[in-house]
Amino acid sequence: MDCVNFDFSALHRHGLAFYQFLALRKQVFVDELKWDVPHNETVEMDQYDTPMAHYSVVCHQGRVIGGARAMATTATWGEHTYMLRDAYSGKLKHIPPHIMSVDIATPKVWECTRLVIASDIATQAERSECLRLIVDGLVDIVRKHGAEEMICLSSLHLMRALRQMGYQVDRLGETYKNAEDGRTYGVLRMPADYSKERKALMQTASVHRLSDARPRAEHLAPARPLELATAV
């Protein structure tokens, strides 16, 4: 599995990755979960897929198997801001306003949405690896833009899965039951920090760099014999 990150300015560099991500969203959110969101027979694409959005997408054997979207909580595009803030303002019919306990709009916090993993990724190990790559990719994106925290609207199952991977996830505000898929959702928040596996890999790489930077014994000049000054 490989993770790629991009925004609208770089869609052309990743072939069909963006389109396949939209198609995967349609398969899961529309065909399986029966969400009432904008779509056609192939893809799902909403009002937040704009040049303000960034994407973390996981590919395996030539196809997209997972991904998510990220956007600053200061983002605006036309009459829309970001999804949770629009819900807080009463603009979204399927998300109750009380789901957000506070109005957040700061460059230090980014919202993550549309997290999805292909249903045919069957084993728990593969699904966990895909999820980890997606979320670490989101962390890459938001840290690059100077953010320190991430929020998302998700089922509470995700909170448990993320905690198992070492992410420091907490719930922000109340929960609600989605009438379309029957799941319980809440706003999650976490520092923009990596999974425990990614941290371990980074630490190992750091140790190797430090080791490579040390001069090797064979490259050192031979020690000169100590010369003692004697009085005449």
In a domain, 219, yes or no: no
Asked whether 145 and 110 are in contact (CB, 8 A), the reply is yes
CA distance 101 to 142: 23
User: Amino acid identity, residue 4?
Assistant: V
pTM value? 0.87
Residue 228 has pLDDT above 60, yes or no: no
Tokens of 144: 């690059």
Q: Which residue, among 232, 219, 157, 231, has the nearest Cα to 188 in the 3D structure?
A: 157
- Mean of the per-residue pLDDT values of the chain: 90
Edge-to-edge strand order for the sheet containing 54-60? 2-7, 54-60, 63-72, 109-117, 149-155, 184-191, 170-177
In a domain, 226, yes or no: no
In a domain, 138, yes or no: yes
Provide the residue range defining the domain that includes 55. Answer: 2-205
Domain with residue 120: its CATH number is 3.40.630.30
CA distance 121 to 123: 6
CA distance 142 to 140: 6
DSSP bridge pairs for 69: 55, 113
In a domain, 148, yes or no: yes
In a domain, 220, yes or no: no
Residues 104-160 have pLDDT tens digits of: 999 999 999 999 999 999 899 999 999 999 999 999 999 999 999 999 999 989 999
How many domains are there within the chain? Answer: 1
- Terminus-to-terminus CA distance in the chain, angstroms? 77
In a domain, 222, yes or no: no
Asked whether 73 and 110 are in contact (CB, 8 A), the reply is yes
In a domain, 221, yes or no: no
